[in-house]
A = this chain, B = another copy of it.
């Protein structure tokens, strides 16, 4: 199956001769935009500097019209095979972070996830807080610790205090978790494209620190994104009716012709023991981006509603995407109900939270009318501190 057909053409940054080159994934290859622009194949389409840059930011800043013409030219060039020197093998390529992330916002837009966490963190109260259905709740995360798929994740240390402990203690997190999310990347006005996001979370640290200013060091140590940014334009065939919303949002959050995206998502887990025994990763959750209550357009409208000007390279993550079925929860804290129901792995091991050596891979894809389009993978292996 071809994950990267000509209808997709996601953008990424890969290494060629030690330099960072922009490219688009096309079948088993990467079309080297740096090489192609240097060979003047984009003359008349855009300034070559947008494509010889070492990150997507200049292209992001160029705006929607340029994104459209660059994409059209890519499709035209690939349709007639522009020459072997403009291609590298995708399997062997070393990928880098595709952009310099400007500001990073993490939303909380799955109702099931918000309900699950409310029940777990505040068992004696109504799980959904009164503001949740009135606006896409979110917070700013740390842009400087966003890493590309494949980067090892050192188990974070932090301060935590269990309810039965008198005083807090400091040490490696005992409740290291993941969050399965989708993120969108913007220019200065519009949505450029989407990536998979793994919002690694130290639940013990988060639980002790988060009041009253929200998550901080329980999240800031690392966030992994997939290397290929799928253009929003490629996802148009997978637009679906947005989630029903009641109460009706206030006028500034009502979006004309709004849409959600039908993107299948899954979490795969492989422990060190599985890996050493040659046992493949096991899928521990299957969900879909259409589960999200708030749409990307509403999230963006919300962020701008106070006068904020977004910047090229801003990343907005959805928040954990959990469906209503327990097999569709997007984090360990939900899947194992804070460790009360550990997952059984094929190796005979049980998992409440992540152990050292565990490798988590998020995957996403769209399928419709014979068109298959992949988000690639968003992978990270936990290492001891």
Chain A residues at the B interface, C-beta cutoff of 8 Å = 102-103, 108, 118, 121, 129-131, 134-135, 137-145, 154, 156-159, 161, 167-170, 202, 205, 208-218, 220-222, 247, 250-252, 302-303, 305-311, 314, 385
**Which B residue sits closest to A140, measured CB to CB?**
B140
> Are B215 and A306 interface neighbours, CB within 8 A?
no
> Are A309 and B247 interface neighbours, CB within 8 A?
no
> Are B168 and A250 interface neighbours, CB within 8 A?
yes
> Are A158 and B306 interface neighbours, CB within 8 A?
yes
| Copies of this chain held together in the complex | 2
Q: A139-B140, A144-B102, A251-B170 are in contact. Are A215 and B217 (CB under 8 A)?
A: no
Contact of A159 among B135, B156, B169 (CB under 8 A): B135
Q: A141-B140, A170-B250 are in contact. Are A307 and B213 (CB under 8 A)?
A: no
Residues of B within 8 A of A139 (CB): 139-140, 213-214, 216
> Are B144 and A221 interface neighbours, CB within 8 A?
no
Q: A159-B135, A214-B214, A215-B213 are in contact. Are A144 and B311 (CB under 8 A)?
A: yes
> Are B220 and A303 interface neighbours, CB within 8 A?
yes
> Are A103 and B134 interface neighbours, CB within 8 A?
no
> Are B144 and A209 interface neighbours, CB within 8 A?
no
- Chain B nearest CB from A124 CB (Å) reads 14
**Which B residue sits closest to A314, measured CB to CB?**
B144
Residues of B within 8 A of A143 (CB): 102-103, 143
Residues of B within 8 A of A252 (CB): 157, 170
Residues of B within 8 A of A314 (CB): 144
The winner among A103, A121, A250, A303 for most chain B CB atoms within 10 A is: A103
> Are A140 and B217 interface neighbours, CB within 8 A?
no
**Which B residue sits closest to A135, measured CB to CB?**
B159
- Chain B nearest CB from A133 CB (Å) reads 10
Contact of A108 among B121, B129, B213, B250 (CB under 8 A): B213
Residues of B within 8 A of A161 (CB): 130-131, 134
Residues of B within 8 A of A129 (CB): 211-212
> Are A169 and B250 interface neighbours, CB within 8 A?
yes
Residues of B within 8 A of A159 (CB): 134-135, 250, 305
Q: A134-B159, A139-B216, A210-B212 are in contact. Are A144 and B306 (CB under 8 A)?
A: no
18 cross-chain CB contacts under 8 A: A102-B143, A103-B142, A103-B144, A131-B161, A131-B211, A134-B159, A137-B209, A137-B216, A144-B310, A144-B311, A154-B307, A156-B307, A168-B250, A169-B250, A170-B250, A217-B306, A220-B303, A222-B307
- Chain B nearest CB from A157 CB (Å) reads 6
